[in-house]
């Protein structure tokens, strides 16, 4: 791997956005393959960050500044990516379910998915079932990902799965759920396809299921 | 200073397991430990298994009351769960945790507080999103105090919780909460303020240190209740010391008594 790519990767991991931006500009000007920067610097960096956060080595703000650096570098690459490299890995619709306003976990999953090469449509917080259905109809995603941090709103997840079923779009997507009070057992009970204990695992689950 | 003991909460794995197994001994061990450590109220939260919250909250009330005379803080956003549990309370009137301006919750929980003459924790959360800035927190807190007192709740029975958000995602969030506490205490003589501490340090290292530091800052602005773990002796010692420093412990007798009873971790 080139020194330039290694350096961009290291700066993204450390959340140094100014350095990451400058080095990316320089690398592009010097003719470094933008697809390689995407894969070996950005996606690789976010994978390292996800693992470090998952294992407890990294703390929340470090994860956030790394993701911010990544999302700022991304637009520099986009115009240069052609063909297969421009293809998104998949598409996810994400939201915190009705009655719940907690968005930290949801935002982390969103950033990690973007860092892993997915397109993410963020419906925000307090998202009712019919908005998820509408988004599936309009966006044709691979995944619907729901977050809930309080037990009271876990029922909203069940309702959303039921609404997706009733609308006849359930079969076209995989449903993933996450949030502090959730369990794999609950995910199974409400008919979701997978449960992830953290953002890193969610990306891994999407990577497994997208093919 | 009102210490509301937080450990019997379904968001903790050990408590969730105890609830699933209806393991009374595990719950009672927590209740006794918190009682002995200086809790004024024991919070009970049974929100782990969707649909079973009313039943589990009732079970928690019975289970804790069997081993402790401390009053309870009934912890649920669901008025139905609170309504089920309230008639079983035998200790003095509980605190309902909590009410907010979300319409259904406001009406439901207010009716219960009036009927059962309880105290209330009032969250600075509107119909849409929770308040993030100090100004928003104060505006929502003021609206809650005004509407609750107009409805017949004594101002001294209201504990406004301006909400604490993780410093890890917003470096100014704790400062906003502290500012709001000061302003609410200044503007509404007789009202109380409280908050849960642990959210402030979410996602950060040295969590207990951050929690204690935040607590001292909040106490300095007049906060007079907190939802904490009373078995954390360093945290409780910080409360005793801060009360003395802020002139709320006459002759420092609270501090001295804690020391003489061996409860002070210096």
Do the strands B72-75 and B41-45 form a parallel or antiparallel pair, or are they unpaired?
Answer: parallel
Query: Where does the pLDDT of residue A123 fall: very low under 50, low under 70, confident under 90, or very high at 90 and above?
Result: very high
Percent of chain B, pLDDT > 90?
Answer: 86
Is A211's pLDDT higher than 80? Answer: no
Q: pLDDT value at position B159?
A: 98
Q: pLDDT value at position B265?
A: 87
In a domain, residue B78? The reply is yes
Decide if B125 touches A, using CB distance below 8 A: yes
In a domain, residue B266? The reply is no
Percent of chain A, pLDDT > 90?
Answer: 69
- Nearest-CA distance A60 → chain B (Å): 5
Residue B174's CATH number? 3.20.20.20
Query: Where does the pLDDT of residue A144 fall: very low under 50, low under 70, confident under 90, or very high at 90 and above?
Result: very high
Q: Is the dihedral of CA A85, A49, A145, B200 positive or negative?
A: negative
Q: Report the interhelical angle of B233-245 vs B207-220 (nearest 10°).
A: 20
Give the mean pLDDT of chain B.
94
Cβ-nearest to B168 among A60, A101, A154: A60
The count of structural domains within chain B is: 1
Helix, strand, or coil here: A145?
Answer: strand
Query: Where does the pLDDT of residue B124 fall: very low under 50, low under 70, confident under 90, or very high at 90 and above?
Result: very high
Cβ-nearest to A104 among B50, B53, B166: B166
- Cβ contact B53–A64 (<8 Å): no
Is B158's pLDDT higher than 80? Answer: yes
Is A89's pLDDT higher than 80? Answer: yes
State which residues form the domain around B41. 2-260
Q: pLDDT value at position A1?
A: 63
- Cβ contact A101–B48 (<8 Å): no
Is B130's pLDDT higher than 90? Answer: no
pLDDT digits (tens, 9 = 90+) for B10-67: 989 899 999 999 999 999 999 999 999 999 999 999 987 767 899 999 999 999 999 9
A18-41 burial: b if 16+ Cβ within 10 Å, else e:
ebbbebbeebbeeebbbbebbebb
* CA–CA separation, B56 and B46 (whole Å): 5
In a domain, residue B265? The reply is no
Is A14's pLDDT higher than 70? Answer: yes
Q: pLDDT value at position B198?
A: 87
Query: Where does the pLDDT of residue A175 fall: very low under 50, low under 70, confident under 90, or very high at 90 and above?
Result: very high
- Domains assigned to chain A: 3-86 (1.10.1240.10), 91-209 (3.40.50.280)
> Average of pLDDT values for A123-133?
95
Q: pLDDT value at position B104?
A: 87
pLDDT digits (tens, 9 = 90+) for B212-263: 999 999 999 999 999 999 999 999 999 999 999 999 999 999 999 999 998 8
Q: pLDDT value at position B23?
A: 97
* CA–CA separation, B167 and B161 (whole Å): 17
Alpha-helical regions (H) of chain B: 13-21, 24-36, 53-65, 79-85, 103-116, 134-150, 173-187, 207-220, 233-245, 253-260
Q: pLDDT value at position A116?
A: 87
């Amino acid at each position: 791997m080139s020194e330039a790519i290694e350096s961009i990767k290291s700066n993204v991991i450390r959340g140094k956005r100014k350095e990451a931006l400058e080095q990316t500009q320089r690398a592009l000007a010097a003719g470094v393959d933008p697809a390689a920067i995407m894969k070996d610097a950005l996606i690789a960096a976010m994978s390292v960050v996800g693992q470090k956060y998952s294992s407890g080595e990294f703390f929340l703000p470090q994860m956030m500044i790394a993701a911010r650096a990544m999302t700022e570098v991304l637009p520099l690459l986009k115009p240069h990516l052609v063909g297969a490299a421009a293809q998104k890995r998949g598409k996810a619709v994400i939201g915190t379910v009705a009655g719940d306003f907690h968005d930290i976990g949801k935002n982390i999953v969103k950033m990690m998915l973007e860092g892993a090469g997915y397109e993410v449509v963020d419906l925000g917080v307090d998202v009712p079932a019919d908005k998820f259905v509408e988004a599936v109809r309009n966006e044709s995603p691979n995944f619907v990902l729901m977050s809930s941090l309080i037990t009271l709103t876990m029922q909203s997840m069940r309702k959303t799965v039921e609404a997706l079923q009733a609308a006849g779009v359930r079969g076209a997507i995989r449903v993933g759920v996450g949030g502090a009070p959730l369990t794999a057992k609950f995910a199974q009970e409400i008919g979701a396809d997978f449960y992830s204990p953290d953002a890193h695992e969610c990306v891994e689950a999407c990577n497994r299921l997208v093919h | 200073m009102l210490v509301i003991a937080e450990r019997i909460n379904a968001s903790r794995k050990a408590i969730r397991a105890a609830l699933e197994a209806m393991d009374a001994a595990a719950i009672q061990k927590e209740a006794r430990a918190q009682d002995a450590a200086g809790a004024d109220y024991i919070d009970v939260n049974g929100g782990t298994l969707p649909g079973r919250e009313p039943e589990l909250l009732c079970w928690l009330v019975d289970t804790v009351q069997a081993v402790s005379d401390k009053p309870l803080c009934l912890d649920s956003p669901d008025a139905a769960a609170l309504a089920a549990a309230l008639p079983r309370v035998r200790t003095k009137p509980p605190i309902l945790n909590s009410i907010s301006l979300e319409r259904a919750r406001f009406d439901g929980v207010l009716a219960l507080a009036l009927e059962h003459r309880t105290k209330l924790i009032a969250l600075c959360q509107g119909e849409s999103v929770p308040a993030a800035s100090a100004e928003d927190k104060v505006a929502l807190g003021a609206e809650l105090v005004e509407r609750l007192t107009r409805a017949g709740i004594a101002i001294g029975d209201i504990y406004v919780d301006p909400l604490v958000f993780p410093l890890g995602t917003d470096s100014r969030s704790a400062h906003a909460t502290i500012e709001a506490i000061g302003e609410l205490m200044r503007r509404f003589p007789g009202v109380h303020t409280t908050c849960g501490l642990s959210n402030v340090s979410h996602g950060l290292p040295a969590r207990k240190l951050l929690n204690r530091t935040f607590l001292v800052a909040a106490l300095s602005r007049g906060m007079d209740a907190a939802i904490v773990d009373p078995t954390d002796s360093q945290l409780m010692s910080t409360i005793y010391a801060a009360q003395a420093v802020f002139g709320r412990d006459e002759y420092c007798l609270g501090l001295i008594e804690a020391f003489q009873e061996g409860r002070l971790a210096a």
